[in-house]
């Protein structure tokens, strides 16, 4: 078709297509799955929020890798990253998805927000679910989705309709949201959309002894219980590596925590400094 007008209707509410029971999607990381109360519940929505560079895209890719390992089809929408960069990053981290891209089980769409209307995007997601039997949708990031929306106040409505459709079809949706600043208020940008998500994962930077570290916590999970601690995390081989709970720190979410415990693994001085003290 050349020329003319193409209309993208709103997503209408429909009845659930079936009962998923208590199926969960695990990441393969014992510490991370423990933090999530065993994993994320299939057919629910997840918001991963944090400052740039905290590991949001890496974590969402781990979920994609886990779904692919189960034989499911995955659709990835990249609003902020080029496809070539995505493939280089996943290969470098040891979570390559090249084979699944080649055989069609993973489809990645690099989206230019100014070239795609919210209605067109929603219609594409619906088509992927109904025609291609996709069971995991990843939107990286909601910030890019917002740029395609002429009126920001309509964002929660659009997302609510899309998430309702996906949930009724048993499709899991993972969204990332970039927060502005490094140590700013962690809830400013997330406030408008976090209430729509079933699970909210918060990723933060914090400073200790002159070094910048990262932390992860689950602040909400509607479909079940979850661990309520804050754990240190680090991006490395295999994806996001999650450590032990930061029980001896107070104020981690402020970015500049206070140490209130005995000397632990995180606070051990360098070996050279220890030898100097012995002399």
Domain residues for 178?
A: 24-278
Structure confidence by residue, pLDDT tens digits, 108-156: 999 987 777 778 888 999 999 999 999 999 999 888 777 766 665 677 7
What per-residue confidence (pLDDT) applies to 272? 44
Residue 18 lies in a domain: no
Residue 204 lies in a domain: yes
Task: Match 């997840």 to its residue by tokens.
Answer: 46
Task: Match 């989206």 to its residue by tokens.
Answer: 111
What per-residue confidence (pLDDT) applies to 233? 94
Residue 183 lies in a domain: yes
Cα distance between residue 262 and residue 217, in whole Å: 23
Mean residue pLDDT across the chain? 84
Residue 110 lies in a domain: yes
Mean pLDDT confidence for 170-192: 74
Query: Do you find a cis peptide bond into 141, omega within 30 degrees of 0?
Result: yes
pLDDT score of 266 more than 70:
no
Structure confidence by residue, pLDDT tens digits, 211-257: 889 999 999 999 889 999 999 999 999 899 999 999 888 888 777 78
What per-residue confidence (pLDDT) applies to 11? 75
What per-residue confidence (pLDDT) applies to 259? 79
Q: Which CATH number goes with the domain that contains 41?
A: 3.40.50.300
Residue 231 lies in a domain: yes
Domain count for the chain, please give it: 1
- Who has greater pLDDT, 118 or 272? 118
Burial of residue 246 (number of CB atoms within 10 Å: 0-12, 13-18, 19+):
buried
Residue 10 lies in a domain: no
User: Out of 94-98, 141-145, 172-176, 216-220, which region has the weakest mean confidence (pLDDT)?
Assistant: 141-145
Residue 139 lies in a domain: yes
Cα distance between residue 120 and residue 201, in whole Å: 28
Mean pLDDT confidence for 55-78: 95
Cα distance between residue 264 and residue 98, in whole Å: 40
pTM: 0.86
Residue 1 lies in a domain: no
Mean pLDDT confidence for 78-94: 92
């Amino acid at each position: 078709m050349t020329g003319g007008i193409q209309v993208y209707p709103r997503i209408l509410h429909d009845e659930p297509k079936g009962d998923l029971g208590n199926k969960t999607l695990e990441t393969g990381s014992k510490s991370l799955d423990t933090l999530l109360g065993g994993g994320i519940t299939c057919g629910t929505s997840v918001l991963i929020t944090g400052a740039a560079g905290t590991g949001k895209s890496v974590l969402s890719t781990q979920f994609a890798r886990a779904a692919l390992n189960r034989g499911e089809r995955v659709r990835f929408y990249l609003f902020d990253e080029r496809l070539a960069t995505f493939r280089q990053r996943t290969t470098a981290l040891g979570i390559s998805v090249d084979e699944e891209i080649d055989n069609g089980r993973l489809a990645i769409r690099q989206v230019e927000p100014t070239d795609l209307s919210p209605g067109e995007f929603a219609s594409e997601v619906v088509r992927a679910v109904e025609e291609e039997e996709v069971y995991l949708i990843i939107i990286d990031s909601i910030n890019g989705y917002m740029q395609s929306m002429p009126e920001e106040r309509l964002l929660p409505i659009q997302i609510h309709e899309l998430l309702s459709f996906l949930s009724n079809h048993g499709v899991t949706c993972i969204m990332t949201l970039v927060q502005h600043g490094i140590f700013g208020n962690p809830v400013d940008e997330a406030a408008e959309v976090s209430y729509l998500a079933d699970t909210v994962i918060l990723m933060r930077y914090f400073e200790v002894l002159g070094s910048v570290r990262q932390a992860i916590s689950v602040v909400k999970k509607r479909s079940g219980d979850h661990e309520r601690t804050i754990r240190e995390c680090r991006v490395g081989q295999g994806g996001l590596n999650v450590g032990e709970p930061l029980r001896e720190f107070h104020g981690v979410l402020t970015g500049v925590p206070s140490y209130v415990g005995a000397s632990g693994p995180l606070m051990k001085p360098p070996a050279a400094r220890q030898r100097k003290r012995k002399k």
